Amino acid sequence: MTDTAQQDRVLIFDTTLRDGEQSPGATMTHAEKLEIAGLLDEMGVDIIEAGFPIASEGDFKAVSEIARQSKTSVICGLARAQLPDIDRCWEAVKHAARPRIHTFIGTSPLHRAIPNLTMDEMADRIHDTVTHARNLCDNVQWSPMDATRTEIDYLCRVVEIAIKAGATTINIPDTVGYTAPRESAALIAMLLERVPGADQIVFATHCHNDLGMATANSLAAVEAGARQIECTINGLGERAGNTALEEVVMALKVRNDIMPFQTAIDTTKIMNISRRVATVSGFPVQFNKAIVGKNAFAHESGIHQDGMLKNAETFEIMRPEDVGLAATNLVMGKHSGRAALRSKLEELGFELGDNQLKDVFVRFKDLADRKKEIYEDDLIALMRTSTDPEDHRIQLKSLQVVCGTKGPQTADMVLTVDGEERSTTQTGDGPVDAAFNAVKALVPHEARLQLYQVHAVTEGTDAQATVSVRMEEDGRIVTGQSADTDTVVASVLAYIHALNRLLVRREKTAPGADKREISYKVVS
């Protein structure tokens, strides 16, 4: 085993709050962004890309607040190669103890055509904007967007310009997930060899997963000399997503024998933040996802189970505890007290105040009365059930559904809307459709249901169902989640959660609200 004291450090640059949030429907509230940033800071992420400050007033406020609250992480904001963008970015990140400005421009032929710049005109803009950023901040990152499809000679030229203008980190993005590991490594090695001053700065790699090679491409770049990996929790991101933080970190840890590099990540915090990001983004983790998927440490094959009983290393290359999974699962029941619940939730990464615990304990007891055995996943689902302040406008008071082989199915519903009780009876093609029709009759809206997903939290006919919905209205996308042993109730609560969020978004973008709330989309 290589002496870890002599190993190179690989910086982990997390862009869950910027590139990850650009996944359609993955928008997070201000409070959720602050929470995720705090968890990233605690787990040892070196650089947090907190957002794109010029995009909206909401983004600016979130980046500013994250910068103020950061403890150890560098806080970075994104800016296009325009002086107003860079100034706005600096205004947001300057409150951090360790701020960074990240500015970029598309350098491939396809991207140069968008602003209609010649090679020389783009080179001048890169010099001017990087110089401007460096005059504001001594930590500047520059990215040639779509670098992997940029002409090699021109890429070398603009990287050299950015370094001379003061960039301290050069990020090489594979913006459309086009490259392969051998190419990824060769590109970094070529830049280190050909570009003057390349050995004095940090090279970063930013890979997308369109061909399923983001993790492999990032690790190949590190082996060639890159010392910063840009990634997201759960691989969240546009299209097929970004490099997954948990994958590269655990790959470097498990295969340290052939990839002798260190990170500062506390891997025992991976599962907690993975679950939280899945909850606030509305993007469930696929069951067979590497490291954090529900089946990542599950063994059903008889041969595998027999081997695991004799020696866990037979079929496991890492321990569940390494990523924050407890060794045991079944722990709670209806006789469990408040102190036991608090202790177990703390094990799972949830720190609750007394008032929060009181509310959760009531819901826990209610669940325990309906469900014989409470598993860790049940508790996590319980915590996912929103207590968001945005949820007060519309509340479910009662629901009764009639279903069966003879239709139509019927839903009798009573809602409280802004303190006023409303009731209706509606029919539909199934109980969920009837219940959703009832909600729409009581709270008229034109939002389109983009996504409806149901997942069983645990096994058994009494398992809780976790429901996620995504809705869109006039460009506003909102998500809602809830869990209940009754799938129809969970569905209605998730739908109402999304509607409550939609009402808040309407108010923020109503006439007179800040027009910058309409976000720009950026791919890097």
Listed residues 369, 384, 399: the one ending a domain: 384
Alpha-helix residue ranges (DSSP H) falling in 137-256: 152-165, 181-194, 214-224, 245-254
Q: What share of the chain is helix, strand, coil (3-state, %, to 5)?
A: 45, 20, 35
E strand or H helix that includes residue 451: strand 448-456
Indicate whether 103 belongs to any domain.
yes
Indicate whether 523 belongs to any domain.
no
Residue with tokens 């109980």: 431
Predicted local distance difference test score (pLDDT) of residue 4:
57
Indicate whether 516 belongs to any domain.
no
Average pLDDT over residues 414-430: 94
Select the more confidently predicted residue: 383 or 468. Answer: 468
Domain count, the chain: 4
Claim to verify: residue 340 and residue 305 sit in the same structural domain:
no
Claim to verify: residue 205 and residue 260 sit in the same structural domain:
yes
State the pLDDT confidence band at 453, using cuts at 50, 70 and 90. Answer: confident
The yes-or-no verdict on residue 405 having pLDDT over 80 is yes
Claim to verify: residue 415 and residue 362 sit in the same structural domain:
no
State the pLDDT confidence band at 475, using cuts at 50, 70 and 90. Answer: confident
Average pLDDT over residues 283-309: 66
CATH of the domain at 416: 3.30.160.270
Claim to verify: residue 398 and residue 480 sit in the same structural domain:
yes
> Distance (Å, rounded) from C-alpha 453 to C-alpha 335?
32
Select the more confidently predicted residue: 430 or 307. Answer: 430
Claim to verify: residue 267 and residue 316 sit in the same structural domain:
no
Average pLDDT over residues 21-42: 86
Claim to verify: residue 154 and residue 213 sit in the same structural domain:
yes
Indicate whether 524 belongs to any domain.
no
Q: Which residues on adjacent β-strands are paired with residue 205? A: 172, 229
> Distance (Å, rounded) from C-alpha 8 to C-alpha 263?
9
The answer to whether residues 214 and 241 touch, using CB atoms and an 8 Å cutoff, is yes
Which tokens sit at 285? Answer: 């983790």
Which tokens sit at 142? Answer: 């520059």
State the pLDDT confidence band at 307, using cuts at 50, 70 and 90. Answer: very low
DSSP state of 519: P
Binding site, annotated residues for Mn(2+): 19, 206, 208, 242
DSSP state of 27: -
How do beta strands 465-473 and 476-484 pair?
antiparallel
> Distance (Å, rounded) from C-alpha 524 to C-alpha 242?
10
Residue with tokens 């991101």: 237
Q: What's at 71, amino acid-wise?
A: K
Claim to verify: residue 141 and residue 39 sit in the same structural domain:
yes
The answer to whether residues 163 and 201 touch, using CB atoms and an 8 Å cutoff, is yes
Claim to verify: residue 319 and residue 345 sit in the same structural domain:
no
Which tokens sit at 392? Answer: 């007060």
Alpha carbon 320 to its chain centroid, in Å, reads 22
Q: What's at 264, amino acid-wise?
A: A
Give me the domain span that covers residue 305: 295-323
DSSP-assigned letters across all residues of 93-151: HTTSSSEEEEEEEE-SHHHHTTTT--HHHHHHHHHHHHHHHHHH-S-EEEEEETGGGS-
Which tokens sit at 257? Answer: 């024998």
- Rounded to 5 degrees, what are φ and ψ at 150? -95, 140
Indicate whether 54 belongs to any domain.
yes
Indicate whether 27 belongs to any domain.
yes
Claim to verify: residue 343 and residue 435 sit in the same structural domain:
no
The answer to whether residues 415 and 422 touch, using CB atoms and an 8 Å cutoff, is yes
Claim to verify: residue 252 and residue 314 sit in the same structural domain:
no
Indicate whether 413 belongs to any domain.
yes
Predicted local distance difference test score (pLDDT) of residue 385:
64
Whole-Å CA distances, 176 to 52, 155, 316 = 20, 17, 33
Angle of helix 431-442 relative to helix 487-508, nearest 10 degrees, comes to 30
Claim to verify: residue 301 and residue 336 sit in the same structural domain:
no
CATH of the domain at 213: 3.20.20.70
The answer to whether residues 102 and 143 touch, using CB atoms and an 8 Å cutoff, is yes
Predicted local distance difference test score (pLDDT) of residue 161:
98
User: pLDDT per residue over 177-211, tens digit each?
Assistant: 999 999 999 999 999 999 999 999 999 999 999 99
Angle of helix 57-69 relative to helix 83-93, nearest 10 degrees, comes to 40
> Distance (Å, rounded) from C-alpha 438 to C-alpha 432?
10
Mean pLDDT of the chain: 87
User: pLDDT per residue over 215-242, tens digit each?
Assistant: 999 999 999 999 999 999 999 998 999 9
Predicted local distance difference test score (pLDDT) of residue 168:
98
Cβ count within 10 A of residue 121: 12
> Distance (Å, rounded) from C-alpha 447 to C-alpha 101?
37
State the pLDDT confidence band at 331, using cuts at 50, 70 and 90. Answer: low
Residue with tokens 């890429």: 155
Select the more confidently predicted residue: 266 or 27. Answer: 266
Cα-Cα-Cα-Cα torsion 274, 275, 276, 278, nearest 10 degrees, comes to 90
Average pLDDT over residues 314-337: 70
The answer to whether residues 97 and 74 touch, using CB atoms and an 8 Å cutoff, is no
Claim to verify: residue 317 and residue 361 sit in the same structural domain:
no
Nearest-5° angle of CA 210, CA 211, CA 217? 100
Predicted local distance difference test score (pLDDT) of residue 310:
47
User: pLDDT per residue over 480-524, tens digit each?
Assistant: 888 888 999 999 999 998 999 888 777 766 555 443 333 344 444
Indicate whether 290 belongs to any domain.
no
> Distance (Å, rounded) from C-alpha 161 to C-alpha 345?
51
> Distance (Å, rounded) from C-alpha 502 to C-alpha 508?
10
Q: What's at 500, amino acid-wise?
A: N
The answer to whether residues 413 and 426 touch, using CB atoms and an 8 Å cutoff, is yes
Q: Which residues on adjacent β-strands are paired with residue 78? A: 102
Select the more confidently predicted residue: 163 or 343. Answer: 163
% of the chain exceeding 90 in pLDDT? 59
